[in-house]
Amino acid sequence: MDKIVINGGNRLMGDLPISGSKNAVLPLMILGLLTDETLKLIGTPRLADTMTLGHVLEELGAEIALFGQGKGEGLTVHAADIAQTTASYELVSKMRASFWVIGPLLARCGQARVSLPGGCAIGTRPVNLYLQGLKAMGADIEVADGYVNAKASSSSGRLTGAQINFPMVSVGATHVMMMAASLADGQTIINNAASEPEIIDVGRCLQAMGARIEGLGTRTLIIDGVEKLNGTTHTVIRDRIEAGAYACAVVASNGEVTLTGADEDLLGALAPVLKQAGAMFTQTPDGLLVKGTSDVRPVNLVTEPYPGFATDLQAPFMGLMCVADGVSHIRETIFENRFMHVQELARLGADIQLQGDTARVTGVKNLKGAPVMATDLRASVTLVIAGLIAEGQTTIQRVYHLDRGYENLEKKLSGCGADISRVS
């Protein structure tokens, strides 16, 4: 099994390209099941998760093809025919987002049998909101033997429009309901919908495919179902979570890096927080220039649904706060187990105390390199950030977590002066 070895202490300097968004490309690929025409996605990152989802879609009958290299690369999804409407446990269990195929399968074929995705290392993420929404749209649903069996109950074999009131904001459930409603009979209104940039990107792609959607970027979506969707060509937005993690790394190392293809808006709620910590931003024709500081200031924050501070950036920001000059408090309100990286940071000399849903981080002058183990996708990049600024050598095991969401991480960081390598 591969591991990543980092010899810390180098400032990050230079240019670092930001890839297409992982959180957008996965639902965008699933949109391909809604049409018998080709969906072409430009700027898709080469990740373990996109490969896994590609296998799920191929199992259902779609053809997946990669094209191009570098700036012009991407992939196509062509589901001329749905070969089967069952998504197996063997594939769905590898990645929760695979469960989202239930929406397009029901909408296009009138039936679906999809494995429950199971648990998650960072906390419970139940699918009850998905099922409640689909039931409201006329789906008969039975859960048996670890599978969700769903069938449209109308005489036409199609889902029907409905009013869906989510009791809480859910990105995944919003994606699934948008997909399902686009081919449903009648109008669907989704209240308390998610409004993340990835939701907007998927919605715009659906609109280009012929879907009739209003309210993107708001908490209320109005979708008038259409008879058929067409193929289209769509460029994936840049990855705000990747950009945020690298911005934290630059500030932590007192570096100076241009995040090519990014701007301050892409960082969202992270931008003002990094400024409070001492970072400086300058927009350039190529991207966002991030300048670090030798005197990182402590900052308190609370994770919240978008547009609040993203839970996916909580761990990377904690890595930065480990070397701040003072005490910071980081409260996690989205997932109950998203402090699994704390014990690994402690192995590097971080001073962190957990108090319920809040981490009290007392900055130390220096972290010390040590062997550590990645526990989940976002925690893994935190250990990379800590390793970059630690004295001596840090070895990170279980790097398959990194491969799920960070494209060419070692190449990008070594291109900015980091001493980082992958070892088999």
Q: What pLDDT is stored for residue 289 in this prediction? A: 98
pLDDT in tens, 147-202: 999 999 999 999 999 999 999 999 999 999 999 999 999 999 999 999 999 999 99
Contacts of 119 (CB under 8 A, 6+ apart): none
Helix H or strand E segment including 30? helix 22-31
Whole-structure pTM value? 0.96
Strand 419-423 to 86-87 pairing: unpaired
- What's the rounded Cα separation, in Å, for the pair 115 and 102? 9
Q: What pLDDT is stored for residue 123 in this prediction? A: 47
Q: Break the chain down into helix, strand, coil percent, rounded to 5.
A: 35, 25, 40
| DSSP 8-state secondary structure symbol assigned to residue 327 | E
419 forms beta bridges with 7
| Residue 312, marked binder | yes
Q: What pLDDT is stored for residue 117 in this prediction? A: 86
Q: What pLDDT is stored for residue 70 in this prediction? A: 64
DSSP 82-101: ---SEE-HHHHTT-GGGGGG
| Residue 241, marked binder | no
Strand 287-291 to 86-87 pairing: unpaired
Say how many residues make up the chain. 424
Residue 83 confidence (pLDDT) above 70: yes
| Residue 22, marked binder | yes
Domain boundaries, the chain: 3-16+239-423, 26-235
Query: What would the mean pLDDT of 103-127 be, rounded to a whole number?
Result: 80
Q: What does R_g of the chain's alpha carbons equal in angstroms?
A: 22
Residue 72: band (very low, low, confident or very high) from pLDDT cuts 50, 70, 90? confident
pLDDT in tens, 19-28: 999 999 999 9
| Residue 334, marked binder | yes
pLDDT in tens, 380-410: 999 999 999 999 999 999 999 999 999 999 9
* Among 20, 24, 34, 23, CA closest to 77: 34
124 contacts 143 by C-beta, under 8 angstroms: no
Q: What pLDDT is stored for residue 71 in this prediction? A: 64
Residue 122 confidence (pLDDT) above 80: no
Q: What pLDDT is stored for residue 407 in this prediction? A: 96
Catalytic (active-site) positions: 120
Contacts of 122 (CB under 8 A, 6+ apart): 335, 337, 338, 340, 376, 378
364 contacts 386 by C-beta, under 8 angstroms: no
Considering the chain, what is the average pLDDT of its residues? Answer: 95
338 contacts 125 by C-beta, under 8 angstroms: no
Q: Same CATH topology for 3-16+239-423 and 26-235?
A: yes
CATH topology of domain 3-16+239-423: UDP-n-acetylglucosamine1-carboxyvinyl-transferase; Chain (3.65.10)
| SS3 label, residue 418 | coil
Distance of CA 23 to the CA centre of its chain: 3
Q: Where do runs of H (alpha helix) occur along 313-373?
A: 314-321, 342-347
In the structure encoding, which two tokens stand for residue 62, read together?
A: 């779609």
Residue 125: band (very low, low, confident or very high) from pLDDT cuts 50, 70, 90? low
Q: What pLDDT is stored for residue 40 in this prediction? A: 98
185 contacts 161 by C-beta, under 8 angstroms: yes
Residue 120 confidence (pLDDT) above 50: no
E strand map for 249-403: 256-260, 280-283, 287-291, 301-302, 327-331, 351-355, 358-362, 371-373, 393-397
Query: What would the mean pLDDT of 355-368 be, rounded to a whole number?
Result: 96
Measuring CA to CA, how many Å separate 380 from each of 316, 386, 399? 9, 10, 7
Question: Which CATH architecture describes the domain 26-235?
Answer: Alpha-beta prism (3.65)
